[in-house]
Amino acid sequence: MLLTAQRVVSPGGTRGVNVYQYLHGSYVWPRVPDGFLPDVNPGELVNQWLEVLPGSNRIVSFLDVVAPDEIAASDVHQRLASLKYHVQARSHRTEAYWDPYWMRFGSAIVAGSLQTELGALAGHILLSLTGNRGGLAPRGRPAESES
């Protein structure tokens, strides 16, 4: 499973965080295989939560998290909630294995705010997966209250 959060800015200046969920299939591993890293094989897109419609957006920061599809939801939630304490983002691009997870974080945000941004993006993924994302519908569909 690949979970991706991207803080984006549209050409018109609209800002937001888009979250995507991809699946790889039923594989169990002690460490994420290179063949399942996002640049090689992101997997099959199964869900997306969009604040800014895709297309020509500039990515300001991003967080990619890869884990086995079959991992317990409670483990994913626990890892995401503690990610900013486990991974020290000391530069604008950080990659780390946290077996059986792998993560990559990148940001154009000022260095003093890197840990905060890492935690914020992890929080967006967590809220999307739990369905608590403030009226945004999965797969980019309008929420019921919108017309």
Q: Where are the domains of the chain?
A: 2-130
Distance, CA of 49 to CA of 52 (rounded, Å): 9
Does residue 88 have a pLDDT over 70? Answer: no
Where is 55: in which H helix or E strand? none
Nearest to 68, CA basis, from 98, 39, 101, 35: 101
Collapsing DSSP to helix, strand or coil, 101 comes out as strand
Can you tell me the mean pLDDT for 107-111?
Answer: 76
Does residue 147 have a pLDDT over 90? Answer: no
Query: Is 107 in contact with 92 (CB distance < 8 Å)?
Result: yes
Can you tell me the mean pLDDT for 107-113?
Answer: 75
Comparing 53 with 119, the larger pLDDT belongs to: 53
Nearest to 83, CA basis, from 111, 124, 49: 124
